[in-house]
Amino acid sequence: MKILALSATVAALAIAPASAADFSFTGSLPTPGTVQFFDFVVGAPSNVTLRTWSYAGGVNAAGNVIERGGFDPILALFALPGGAKIGENDDGGCGLVAADAVSFQCWDTYFSAMLNPGTYRVSVAVYPNFSLGPNLSDGFSGASTFDDVSGAPNNPRSNKWAFDILNVESAVVNPGVPEPATWAMMIAGFGLVGGAMRRGRSSRVPA
């Protein structure tokens, strides 16, 4: 699993109450195992909605037309600080999200809940890259392909996603943090650099 930042396009549309807004993001995942994070702030008790347009496409909150054909997404919501998981959604269900024109499946995500004031983190990942436990620090299970793996054969998919965070005070793409394996490689690299510096110093002959 690889967790990293991706470029995103953000559009904000003011709605009532005055401090609340809708935020629309678009981007792509470099690998199926990537998890994209977003952080958002709720200023007052609000009914917040999180939804993707990755699978079936449609018109997002910014009024942009999103083409169908993106991957089958999963989202998970966590409270900050601490990272306690609030909920997770795999398939939003027909009636809440559109049916794809090829597979006829309603596999975009849709999650709506009344949230208290605070800061939250939401993840978007490829099915079946579910969060593994009750806390963000428990990690994710991983995924190996962008194509459908849950009942829609011969339906190639792209790495593109589109995501709305609705009725919040602010929302940004989170740069993410390296996974443990990445940290291990980084630490090993620092160790090699440090060793080379020590060897360089020991090989110098005093003038």
Tens-place pLDDT, residues 78-102:
999 999 999 999 999 999 999 999 9
What predicted TM-score, i.e. pTM, was given to this entire model? 0.78
53: pLDDT strictly greater than 80: yes
Strands 58-59 and 118-126: unpaired
What average pLDDT does the structure give for the chain?
A: 83
Average pLDDT over residues 114-125: 98
Q: What is the pLDDT of residue 155?
A: 85
Q: Quote helix, strand, coil % in the chain, to nearest 5.
A: 15, 40, 50
Tell whether the model's pLDDT for residue 42 goes beyond 90.
yes
User: Rounded to whole angstroms, how far apart are CA atoms 201 and 206?
Assistant: 10
Class of residue 59 by CB neighbours under 10 A (exposed 0-12, middle 13-18, buried 19+): exposed
- Greater confidence (77 vs 5) lies with 77
Query: Tens digits of per-residue pLDDT, 150-160?
Result: 777 778 999 99
Q: In terms of DSSP H, where are the helices of the chain?
A: 180-202
Residue 153's pLDDT is 72
CA separation for the pair 88, 129 (Å, rounded): 11
Provide the phi-psi class of 101: left if phi over 0, else alpha when psi is between -120 and 50, else beta: alpha
Between 114 and 196, residue with greater pLDDT: 114
CA distance 124 to 73: 7
Task: Select the more confidently predicted residue: 181 or 88.
Answer: 88
With bands split at pLDDT 50, 70 and 90, how would you rate the model's confidence at 136? Answer: very high
Measured distance CA(103)–CA(151) in Å, rounded = 9
Q: Cβ-count burial of 114 within 10 angstroms (0-12 exposed, 13-18 middle, 19+ buried)? A: exposed
